[in-house]
Amino acid sequence: MQQLNILVIGGGIGGLTAAIALRRAGFSVDIIEKDPDWSVYGVGIIQQSNVIRAMADLGLIEDYIGAGFGFDHVEVFLPTGARVATVPSPRLVEGYPANVGIARPALHKVLGDRALMAGAAIRLGVVATGLRDEGTNVHVRFSDGSEGRYDIVIGADGLYSQVRESVIEPAPRPAFVGQSVWRYNFARPDDVVALCAYDGAVGVGLVPLSERMMYMYVTTPEPGNPRYPRAGLAAAMRSKLAGQPPRIAALAEQIIDDAAVVYKPLEWMLVEGDWHKGRIVLLGDAIHATTPHLGQGAGMAIEDGIVLAEELARHATPEAAFAAYRARRFDRCKYIVEASKAISFGQTGQGPRVDQARATHEMFAVSALAI
């Protein structure tokens, strides 16, 4: 197990983190990514203290913090605009903030650069067209006509994972929660120095990303899971913000660029059974996708990659490593999926309302626990 040759399918947050951790453990790593441009959409992401801890563990902390905006609390507001709570966040790494808002392209660059520096080989515009587990290795056919054999294949290919189809039969499908999220970037005003979360049937958040930039997210009920055409998307987002408090209404007037609006239906999925089959294993959204209400989707994927690398280095067989990996991750990931879904259901009237401040405080406590 010390000389493993590993293929990571998916060059996103989870796949890149796994590659960095696997290279640190001494394994050979190839990454394939279907997007030939290796691009990510240009809004932001919130990451909490457990991710800061993970970045410190991987030796990425300085580059990571330098690419984002750190803060130590969350401000919770009523739909009227009245602030009702300031929720402190636990710092897990001395001398560094508890939370970071970071633009997705900036995070992608930090992880991609470090994966390449660590010695991972990355091929873009390539997918796996066939996976055949031969017992002692996995034979892989690629879309460019090439083939390869790997000791381990990791599916880090996201919510609509094709690798999941090879691992789980019948493969579960993501479930729509009846809600979607809209995102848009703005210049950051001086008073947005932490996540500002506005509760309500339409949830709104302001997230600082840098000294100059922040983004707004808006969660809206979307019965029937409609699709919005790109033309007119800015006007559609503005319409969702009708009746918001003055601070949000003023920002809504600045939403004018259809191309800058990122719209995404919210879905969830959790595989209760095994997370592997033979020598093929899954991580991140491919196995436990969550809505963003607790800001932990990427955090769970990042932790997955670290734990999987640790268990592969620790055990004598892939089966033992994969079982230990799932045992360490399942309860934590299940909590995030179910607690996030509960907030969503409360906001859309499908379940009891959830106290956002209390849920956030509890999430900080749970995510602070060792992985």
Which pLDDT tens digit goes with each residue over 214-244?
A: 999 999 999 999 999 999 999 999 999 999 9
Question: To the nearest whole percent, how much of the chain has pLDDT over 90?
Answer: 88
Q: Look at strands 83-88 and 128-133 and give their pairing.
A: unpaired
Q: What is 112-155 written as a DSSP string?
A: HHHHHHHT-EEEES--EEEEEE-SSSEEEEETTS-EEEESEEEE
Q: State the first-to-last Cα distance of the chain, in angstroms, to the nearest integer.
A: 22
Q: Burial of 109 by CB count in 10 Å (0-12 exposed, 13-18 middle, 19+ buried)?
A: middle
Which pLDDT tens digit goes with each residue over 295-323?
A: 999 999 999 999 999 999 999 999 999 99
Cis check for the bond before 170: say yes or no (omega within 30 of 0): yes
> Strand order in 203-208's β-sheet?
83-88, 73-77, 195-198, 203-208, 213-221, 175-187, 262-270, 288-289
pLDDT bin (cut points 50, 70, 90) of residue 90 is: confident
User: Which residue would you say has higher pLDDT here, 80 or 251?
Assistant: 251
Find the mean pLDDT for residues 135-158: 97
Which pLDDT tens digit goes with each residue over 346-356?
A: 989 999 999 87
Q: Burial of 24 by CB count in 10 Å (0-12 exposed, 13-18 middle, 19+ buried)?
A: middle
**Sign of the dihedral through C-alpha 312, 318, 322, 328:** negative
Which pLDDT tens digit goes with each residue over 279-295?
A: 999 999 999 999 999 99
Question: To the nearest whole percent, how much of the chain has pLDDT over 70?
Answer: 100
89 DSSP assignment: -
CATH 3.50.50.60 correct for 5-43+104-173+269-368: yes
Q: What is the dihedral of CA 195, 49, 55, 26, to 10 degrees?
A: -140
Count Cβ atoms below 10 Å from residue 51 Cβ, excluding itself: 28
Are the beta carbons of 213 and 241 closer than 8 angstroms? no
| Pairwise CA distance, residues 325 & 308, whole Å | 5
Predicted local confidence at residue 34, as pLDDT? 96
Domain coordinates of the chain in residue numbers? 5-43+104-173+269-368
Between helix 318-347 and helix 356-368 the angle, nearest 10°, is 170
188 DSSP assignment: P
pLDDT bin (cut points 50, 70, 90) of residue 205 is: very high
**pTM of the predicted protein model:** 0.95
Which pLDDT tens digit goes with each residue over 27-68?
A: 999 999 999 999 888 889 999 999 999 999 999 999 999 999
